[in-house]
Amino acid sequence: MSTTIRFKIDGKEIIAEKGQTIVEAAKANGVYIPTLCNFEGLPPKGCCRMCTVKLNKRYMTACTTPAADGMEVESDTPEINDFRKGIIELLFVSGNHFCPACEKSGNCELQALAYRFKMMVPRFPFLFPQKGLDASSPKLIKEQNRCIMCKRCIKAIKDDEGRSYFAYQYRGNKLEVILDKKLGKEISDALARKAMDTCPVGSIIYKELGYYQPIGKRKYDKEPIGSDIEVQQ
């Protein structure tokens, strides 16, 4: 049985392996589908909805949908791009994202996506919610103003027994991601750094070491997000 799959994204033929998601297959073929909550090596959970594509007239998240033979996927269309831009704007207005003062600026995926989608002024009013900050862990700061509830840290940062350091609390627009008080006190240096690197924004900050990478030499300072994937035509 052949394990090769052929399908199309915006008319471009994609050759994929069976079992790959649309995002993975697209990436392997030089097509960038923007993602935010997705993280390589972690099970996908369509939380941010950034990678939404249209498939058989339905909106599906490309990070969770397996590629299948003969699919016709719409991704880079005005409608879908407007939704994606809308999602970025939603994340901006529902938190307090002050890029110039943020340690993650330049390495932040939300900021990079906002540049890529040319966000100027969000279409939604800023909500300026009152949010707190948890600095009780000796290694980490959990900065709630910047959290976008992507779930990456919840999935990635676990101890040897599989217990999560992070978890959701509450629901709806009161939802937040919190760090376990007990586990947070004993978190290892390596895991704390991993937590910061896993966070797409500046919500998890490793303590006692700021700006070790200078502004100007950061990931998205020169090239827009996704340009490493895109094949220049």
Partner 1 sequence: MKDKIIKITSRYQNDRHRLMDILIDIHDLQGYVSDTDIEVLAQQLGMSEVEINETVTFYHFFSKKPRGKYNIFLNNSITAFMRGREKVKKTLEEECGTKIGSVSPDGLFGLYSTSCMGMNDQGPSAIINDKVFTNLTPYRVRKLIADLKSGKTLDEAIYESTGDGNNSDPDVRSMVFNNIRKRMILLERNYKKFEVIRNLLIKHSPDEIVGIVEESNLRGRGGAGFPTGLKWRFGRRVEADHRVIICNADEGEPGTFKDRVLLTEFPDLVFEGMVIAAYATSADIGLVYLRYEYRYLYKYLNRILDEMRKQNLLGENIAGVKHFNFDIRIQLGAGAYVCGEESALIESLEGKRGEPRDKPPFPVQNGYLGYPTIVNNVETLAAAVRIVKNGADWFKGFGTTDSLGTKLLSVSGDCKFPGIYEVEWGTSIREVMEMSGADDVQAIQVGGPSGVMISVKDIDSLGTTDLMKWYKPSGMMVAQKTFDRRLSYSDLPTGGSIMIFNSQRDLLNEVVMNFMDFFIEESCGSCSTCRNLPFLMKKKLEKIVSGHGVRKDIDDLLNWGRIIKVSRCGLGQTAANPVVSSILNFRYLYEQHVKAMADFDNVFDMEKSVEAANNFVGRKTILHHV
Judged by the rule CB under 8 A, the positions of this chain that interact with partner 1 are 44-49, 52, 57, 59, 61, 64-66, 83, 86-87, 90-91, 93-94, 123-125, 127, 148-149, 151, 159, 161, 163-175, 178-183
Nearest distance, CB of residue 141 and partner 1, angstroms = 16
Smaller CB separation from partner 1, 52 or 145: 52
Smaller CB separation from partner 1, 95 or 106: 95
Nearest distance, CB of residue 154 and partner 1, angstroms = 9
Smaller CB separation from partner 1, 151 or 152: 151
Nearest distance, CB of residue 130 and partner 1, angstroms = 15
Nearest distance, CB of residue 99 and partner 1, angstroms = 19
Smaller CB separation from partner 1, 175 or 209: 175
Smaller CB separation from partner 1, 29 or 64: 64
Distance CA 207, CA 33 (A): 33
Nearest distance, CB of residue 82 and partner 1, angstroms = 8
